[in-house]
Chain A
Amino acid sequence: MRSGPSWFNVTSLVLGFSFLYLPILLLVVFSFNESRLVTVWGGFSTKWYVELMKNQQLIDAAIITLKVAFLSASIATVLGTMAALVLVRSGRFWGRSLFSGMIFAPLVMPEVILGLSLLLLFVAMDQSRGFWTIILAHTTFTMCYVAVVVQSRLVGFDKSIEEAAEDLGCPPARTFFLITLPIILPGVIAGWMLAFTLSLDDLVIASFTTGPGATTLPMKIYSQVRLGVTPEINAVCTILVVLVTMGVIAASILTKRQQVQRERDERAAFGAAG
């Protein structure tokens, strides 16, 4: 047996990663292009980033997007956590399977359909569309992702911990905030981050439910690209990629470090006892 990866493994790796990252790499490289022509390399420059800072429209869109993502992720986290609690805890009640199926439907439902139905609802309610309707729509479709993430955290939760709190004189509501929430917090935060990211890059649903004065960044980028790709857009996208990457790396480092620390503690504890 040879050690090290075989040629087959190396090829798979190279192909897979090129497929995933070549387009993004191209975008990043061309965001530093001196030339205005997107596909012709004219030398290194950061001028598109400078240009970007002057583009008030894009900055406004970015601010709206962040606000929408923050608010909708927060509401979705509350609702999704509640849904997860009910699904994991209430045991078997009539219609449980239907309920759990329904809460996860938006995961597989085509976004166009979700967007259209929300639009129809807002029209029927005679609701003027804009900032808040996007938030409502994003809450609707990110909530189920939060429910999934929190549910996975709750499945491994030892219910006797809550019983212990009640046994020691703590009423159920206080038990939730003092005991349950702190323990499932990593799941809740992960759910929030997922919802935030999903809302950040959503184009379809936002387009359906938006109104005047509420243009999100993906919508702005899309409408500009239709007039032709500018290196400025490449710069925006590069910033987004960098932000998301940093977020993901930070989150995984945090998780990893906690896990390592925990394992070390446990080894120390059992070593001392044995």
Chain B
Amino acid sequence: MAKKPIGPVRRAFSPWDDPAAKPFIEFRNVTKRFGDFTAVDNLSLKIYEREFFALLGGSGCGKTTMMRMLAGFETPTEGQIFLDGQDLAGVPPYKRPTNMMFQSYALFPHMSVEANIAFGLKQDGMAKTQIAERVAEMLRLTKLEPFAKRKPHQLSGGQRQRVALARSLAKRPKVLLLDEPLGALDRKLREETQFELMTLQEELKMTFLIVTHDQEEAMTVADRIAVMDAGKIIQMAPPAEIYETPNSKFVADFIGDVNLIEAKVEEKSAHGTFLQAVTGDFRIDTIQETTAAVGDTVWYAMRPEKIRIAHGEAPGTNAVNRVGAEVWDIAYLGDISIFHSRVGEKDTLRATVANITRLVERPIAWDDMVVLSWERDAGVILTA
């Protein structure tokens, strides 16, 4: 399958920064309890028109419950949900202008691909010729034309997933809900489909809400991500912000790889903060100011690719933060290499290096003594 070119360059799009913007979907103090278990805990959330929004979290964090409440399969215990200004309370699923792509795809096994796609349109009482047109369009959009007459069990996993997508898009819903849509696909197909989803969203100008546990998927497709845990949103921001400035240990740890260094605040100044690793082995100079007082214990979160690793002094760097270490584990992944280096007795730092040259004269090997260095703005100080 040829890779579809990535669609138009994404324009600057940030209605969430505009206080005058009207939210398209709004959860207002929504709580959902199942017996004693609180799945969603007094949660408020605004999603804007044409946004690609991701709810990200581990299993049981309440993300799927949020989506099911929006689709109408669950009723909030407390709070309200608005869609395009309308309170959705009491509106049954079959009258909501949302369509959902199910995790299991939930294709109708006794109907052909065509009939599956046409099902929703028939429920609306659309004219036959119009249905045929729309189905043909959806088949073309999802490259399913050769399979129109097949039954779901005659399709591969990737093709089934396309049928599910085509079916949920056919009615041109105001909001498309995607529940772990790519979970069952292999890595290559998943990446391809992620880009296709983004292109589709640009073309169809719809609001997409995706629920996923896969942080890479959320980062790839979404304009904004809400990281959820135990029924609450921990952080909500665009992908780059979530990655570079996580607001808590949980988010830093959940998104990507991270070095979490336990440290004490040693000195605060107008230019930043000095930290001392609790093991006492090294100091960290940062540009960040912190609310923590001198002597408090905090966490310093730093992404592995922000650390440089070199024999002796790192070339061409005037980084302030510099620490000697011993390499004790190397993982070569082709595009990058991951170095685990021991600093002092207890701390282990992870550094990833892009393999930008094919042949290295003097590669870093196990048990080598190296210098790890990073800039003052390499990481963030976390107090939670």
Contact = CB atoms under 8 A, between A and B. Distances in A.
Nearest to B189: A273
Interface stretch (A136-144, A187-195, A222-230, A260-268): A260-268
B163 to A, nearest CB: 11
A268 B119 contact: no
A172 B95 CA distance: 12
Nearest to A181: B110
B47 to A, nearest CB: 18
B104 A265 contact: no
Given A168-B120, A268-B154, A273-B159, A160 B98 contact: no
A228 to B, nearest CB: 54
Contact of B110 (A160, A163, A171, A183): A183
B99 interface: yes
A167 to B, nearest CB: 5
B71 A167 contact: yes
Nearest to A174: B123
Contacts of B119: 165, 168, 170
Interface string A170-201: 11101000010011000000000000000000
B93 A183 contact: no
B73 A171 contact: no
A169 B104 contact: no
A166 B173 CA distance: 14
B94 A169 contact: yes
Contacts of B159: 269, 273
A164 B102 contact: yes
Contacts of B171: 168-169
B272 interface: no
A237 to B, nearest CB: 40
B153 interface: yes
Interface residues of A, number: 26
A171 B93 CA distance: 9
Contact of A273 (B156, B167, B168): B156
B203 interface: no
Interface in A237-274: 262, 265-266, 268-270, 272-274
Contacts of B99: 167-168
Contact of A270 (B71, B72, B156): B156
Contacts of A268: 154
Contacts of A179: 108
Given A166-B94, A170-B94, A160 B106 contact: yes
A161 B108 contact: yes
Contacts of A164: 100, 102, 106-108, 167
A163 B94 CA distance: 9
A172 B72 CA distance: 13
A163 B177 CA distance: 13
Contact of A182 (B71, B110, B156): B110
B94 A171 contact: yes
Contact of A266 (B100, B106, B154): B154
Nearest to B147: A269
B18 interface: no
Contact of A160 (B102, B109, B120): B102
Interface of B: 71-73, 92-96, 98-100, 102-104, 106-110, 119-120, 123-124, 151, 153-159, 167-168, 171
> 8 closest Cβ contacts across the A-B interface?
A273-B156, A168-B120, A169-B123, A164-B106, A160-B106, A265-B154, A166-B93, A161-B106
23 contacts: A160-B104, A163-B106, A164-B102, A164-B106, A167-B71, A167-B93, A167-B99, A167-B100, A167-B168, A168-B94, A168-B99, A168-B120, A169-B94, A169-B95, A170-B94, A182-B110, A183-B108, A183-B110, A265-B151, A265-B153, A269-B153, A269-B155, A273-B156
